[in-house]
Amino acid sequence: MPLDLFTEALSHAATLSPRLFAIDEPSLPSILKEVRAFCGRHVDSARIDKEGRLGSDLLAAIAEQGWFGLTTPAEHGGAGLSMAASTRVVSELAAHDGSLGTCVGLHSGLALHGLLHQGSEALRARYLPEIAEGQRICAFAATEPSAGSDISAVKTTLAEVDGELRLSGSKIYVTNGGMAALVTVLARSPGLGGAKAGHTLVAVDTRWPGVKKGAEEKKLGLKGSSTITIDFDDVEIPRDHVLGEPSQGLGYAHKALTWGRTFMAAGCLGVARSALAATREHVQVREQFGRPLAKFALVRESLATMRAEIHAIESVLRLVTAYQDAGLADLALPSTVLKVLGSEGAWSVVDRGIQLHGGAGFLEDVGMARRLRDVRVTRIFEGANDVLRLHLASAALAWPIPALREARLGARAPIAHLRSEAEAIDRALDAMTDALEQVRKLGFRVYEKQSLQWQLADAVISALAATAVYLRAAAAPDDEAALAVARLAISLHARRSREASARAMEPSDKAHDRLLELAAADEG
């Protein structure tokens, strides 16, 4: 949980920071250079958006580069990169095109997790070499018409019939579905493995009899990304294609989502970076009132805020991936923080970028409108942010108050050049702890007050963001420009955390609640 990150990271900030933000792969800089050069030559984002597909030629070229094997171990033909390095590559791809980043990120993260971590050695040996070469693109299928954020409600069923496993049901919104040759499917499995109820993950070859792919969905954004419905009509599943233990699939799916949300945040980061770069270029050349837009104070303030938002996302991403690679903590909730922060931060950055572009930002040819459409869905898929906030608040309400009271930067990890920033974070942590302590007094009634839980979650998200930025700044104290951005990001998120905590502590207003109830009622 995020509390683990707070207490461990805050306790050892001075010594832990350099290790947390280091990436060991010496090949990463050259890989990123190759990605930039390749995308500059081969990726036409406007064409991808217009045609609604990445295209077989581009996918084949990506496969030839080996980027479908980012997370596949070297012994199976992949690059075997760490999470920290893999997400850097996905972020770079997404900066050039959101659909491309989504395709590679989903394949490398959510779709492959089950096979990599729960698949047998024989199953990995069978599929991973083809996956690493891009011969088999992967997908993950959980969502159904009646099961979205609540994936435990799936109706697709894996059952034993005459000694064979049979899969029947339908999955919607399957990203990469149209091009996928291997799909990880979550299904109900009553009675399987001796359990009365439960869910099981299975790997399904989409060429097997009974697997039927639907037409491509027409979407608001990420138009080059494949999104389809897949039907499973009494599909025979070999027993060695069950991933992990039967009826334990729900837990495995949540672990896969932890991975997936991390890759998604990396994609959001890439889109945000490209939006900032395009906006910087525009304000340097666009003149109003006799001078470039970049000379106006409000424009500079907007650019600085955009950069601070990006810096915070980067910092939490690096913190979370470092912990994931080291296996130091349960990262289900930290990855949730990262997903919400990344998706909403990217939306904010792109929206500010459109504003600074003026009327040009509304034109398709400029590319900002496409970025806004592409990033919008990230607040919905792999867990809607509204629901994820409720999960985060529920977890935070269980944290021990004494441990939170002790998690203070100023006392535990004083760093001279960041003293005022440490104090700002400590004030945010104090306010967050006060809010949690007060709200906890409501008992089970708090779960009926979802707006209050929303505020608690935002307080936690921004507190962790500010903390991650602090740790990163402590690791690179001599970079004056980066330090200025870090200070701005800490100030921004520490204030947001305090404000969210204050809103959570406001007394209940029954009259206002009644107004909301009446306003939300059906007309007439």
Are residues 129 and 145 both part of a single domain?
no
Please name every residue paired with 141 in a beta bridge, in sequence order, or none if there are none. 185
- Residue that finishes a domain, picked among 247, 280, 302: 247
Q: What is the pLDDT of residue 201?
A: 98
Q: Provide the number of structural domains found in the chain.
A: 4
- Domain with residue 63: its CATH number is 1.10.540.10
- Residue that finishes a domain, picked among 74, 104, 135: 135
Are residues 260 and 374 both part of a single domain?
yes
Q: Tens digits of per-residue pLDDT, 467-481?
A: 999 988 887 767 788
Are residues 258 and 357 both part of a single domain?
yes
Q: How far apart are CA 338 and CA 313, in angstroms?
A: 7
**Which amino acids are annotated catalytic?**
382
**Whether pLDDT at 523 is above 70:** no
Are residues 489 and 452 both part of a single domain?
yes
Tell whether 174 is covered by a domain. yes
Tell whether 298 is covered by a domain. yes
**Whether pLDDT at 340 is above 50:** yes
Q: How far apart are CA 95 and CA 191, in angstroms?
A: 46
Q: What is the pLDDT of residue 325?
A: 86
Q: Tens digits of per-residue pLDDT, 359-405?
A: 999 999 999 999 999 999 999 999 999 999 999 999 999 988 988 88
* Domain assignment of residue 353, given as a range: 252-382
Tell whether 519 is covered by a domain. no
Are residues 173 and 105 both part of a single domain?
no
Q: Tens digits of per-residue pLDDT, 204-249?
A: 999 999 999 999 999 999 999 999 999 999 999 999 999 999 999 9
Q: How far apart are CA 111 and CA 108, in angstroms?
A: 7
Are residues 415 and 441 both part of a single domain?
yes
Q: How far apart are CA 281 and CA 379, in angstroms?
A: 27
Are residues 353 and 470 both part of a single domain?
no
Share of the chain above pLDDT 90, in %: 77
In this structure, the strands spanning 164-175 and 137-141 are unpaired
Overall average pLDDT of the 254-270 stretch: 96
- Domain with residue 217: its CATH number is 2.40.110.10
Share of the chain above pLDDT 70, in %: 94
Tell whether 313 is covered by a domain. yes
- Domain with residue 320: its CATH number is 1.20.140.10
Low-confidence winner among 1-5, 355-359, 420-424 (lowest mean pLDDT) = 1-5
Question: Which helix (DSSP H) or strand (DSSP E) does residue 139 occupy?
Answer: strand 137-141
How far is residue 475 from each of residues 91, 192, 211, 266, 489, measured CA to CA in Å? 22, 50, 51, 21, 16
Tell whether 17 is covered by a domain. no
Tell whether 321 is covered by a domain. yes
Are residues 303 and 413 both part of a single domain?
no
Q: How far apart are CA 487 and CA 501, in angstroms?
A: 21
Are residues 259 and 376 both part of a single domain?
yes
Q: What is the pLDDT of residue 1?
A: 43
Q: What is the pTM of this model?
A: 0.95
Q: How far apart are CA 425 and CA 430, in angstroms?
A: 9
Are residues 260 and 373 both part of a single domain?
yes
Overall average pLDDT of the 194-199 stretch: 86
Are residues 396 and 354 both part of a single domain?
no
Are residues 471 and 493 both part of a single domain?
yes
In the predicted model, what is the mean pLDDT of the chain?
92
Tell whether 410 is covered by a domain. yes
- Residue that finishes a domain, picked among 195, 230, 247: 247
Q: Tens digits of per-residue pLDDT, 84-96?
A: 999 999 999 999 9
Tell whether 10 is covered by a domain. no
The count of C-alpha atoms lying within 13 angstroms of the C-alpha of 228, restricted to the half-sphere facing its C-beta, is 19
Q: What is the pLDDT of residue 409?
A: 75
